[in-house]
């Protein structure tokens, strides 16, 4: 198998959900105190270690892409994720966040790295599930350290969730015509914090897209939204 990012031999598994997010939510996971993860199609896995391959994507990467090349992306999301978790009780009242408090002096570069972290996860989902979205622009974004022009992100929270000890990804939902995806959406959850990821090549969806964040937006204030209904996110997920 070849790494979908650079084309080298793939020998490394990327966590579907960030390992640091799993560590933050699930402490002391052992064979005696396991965590349970939904699998496809509709099963449940009993997992006794957060290092288990069951948490990793089947879309393999090479060692370099999964470590040195994407490490700045991983670290940027880890920092933002921790900040959102630790401050959400205050942030949800303000419905916005000053990015300078998270990334002092490096907002644009750090948020580009957050974007690229989700480009990496998105690419793995596309590869793993054979979604008809071209992978080349995802690979190019990572290799060049540049934003994907058609991927947007929203950040927010859910006031009430059925369970608070969740880390999950939803399946990609897409609108396809003649074998080509025109619009796609999936979500990433850590407890009650979520990231909403959108891919769109169709101007008919620009009204939706404009509400989302993209690295081309140089504002240092990040808007946060409340998700009113997360039943799809809870029911159709895997960790």
- What is the pTM for the complete model shown? 0.89
Residue 201 falls within a domain, yes or no? yes
What pLDDT score was predicted for residue 236?
Answer: 38
Please give the residue range of the domain that contains residue 208: 63-238
45 pLDDT higher than 50: yes
Residue 100 falls within a domain, yes or no? yes
Residue 168 falls within a domain, yes or no? yes
Residue 48 falls within a domain, yes or no? no
Residue percentage of the chain with pLDDT more than 90: 51
Look up residue 212 and give its two tokens.
């989302």
What pLDDT score was predicted for residue 162?
Answer: 57
Residue 111 falls within a domain, yes or no? yes
Number of domains in the chain: 1
Confidence band, pLDDT 50/70/90 cuts, at residue 42: low
The 3-state secondary structure of the chain, one letter per residue: CECCCCCCECCECCECCCHHHHHHHCCCCCCCCCEEEEECCCEEEEECCCCCHHHECCCCECHHHHHHHCHHHHHHHHHHHHHHHHHHHHHHHHCEEEHHHCCCCCHHHHHHHHHHHHHHHHHHHHHHHCCCCCCHHHHHHHHHCCCCCCEEEEEEECCCCCCCCCEEEECCEEEEECCEEEEEEEEEEECCEEEEEEEECCHHHHHHHCCCECCCCCCCEEEEEECCCCHHHHHCEEC
Residue 131 falls within a domain, yes or no? yes
Segment 210-234, tens digit of pLDDT: 889 999 987 889 999 887 654 444 3
Residue 21 falls within a domain, yes or no? no
What pLDDT score was predicted for residue 160?
Answer: 62
149 pLDDT higher than 70: yes
Residue 47 falls within a domain, yes or no? no
What pLDDT score was predicted for residue 47?
Answer: 77
Segment 101-139, tens digit of pLDDT: 999 999 999 999 999 999 999 999 999 999 999 999 999
Among residues 196, 224, 13, the alpha carbon closest in space to that of 98 is found at 224
More confident residue, 177 or 144: 144
Mean pLDDT rounded to a whole number for the chain: 86
């Amino acid at each position: 198998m070849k790494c979908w990012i650079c084309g080298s031999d793939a020998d490394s598994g990327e966590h579907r959900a960030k390992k640091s997010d799993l560590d933050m939510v699930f402490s002391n996971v052992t064979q005696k105190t396991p965590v349970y993860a939904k699998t496809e199609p509709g099963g449940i896995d009993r997992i006794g270690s957060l290092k288990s391959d069951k948490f990793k994507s089947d879309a393999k990467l090479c060692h370099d892409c999964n470590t040195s090349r994407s490490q700045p992306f991983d670290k940027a999301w880890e920092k933002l994720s921790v900040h959102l978790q630790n401050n959400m009780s205050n942030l949800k009242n303000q419905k916005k966040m000053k990015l300078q408090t998270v990334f002092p002096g490096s907002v644009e570069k750090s948020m580009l790295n957050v974007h690229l972290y989700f480009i990496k996860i998105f690419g793995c989902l596309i590869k793993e599930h054979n979604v008809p979205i071209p992978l080349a622009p995802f690979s190019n974004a990572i290799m060049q350290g540049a934003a994907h022009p058609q991927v947007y992100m929203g950040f927010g929270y859910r006031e009430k969730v059925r369970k608070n000890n969740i880390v999950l990804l939803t399946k990609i939902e897409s609108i396809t015509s003649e074998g080509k995806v025109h619009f796609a959406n999936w979500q990433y959850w850590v407890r009650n914090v979520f990231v909403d990821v959108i891919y769109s090549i169709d101007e008919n969806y620009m009204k939706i897209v404009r509400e989302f964040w993209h690295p081309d937006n140089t504002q240092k204030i990040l808007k946060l939204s409340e998700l009113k209904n997360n039943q799809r996110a809870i029911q159709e997920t895997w960790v």
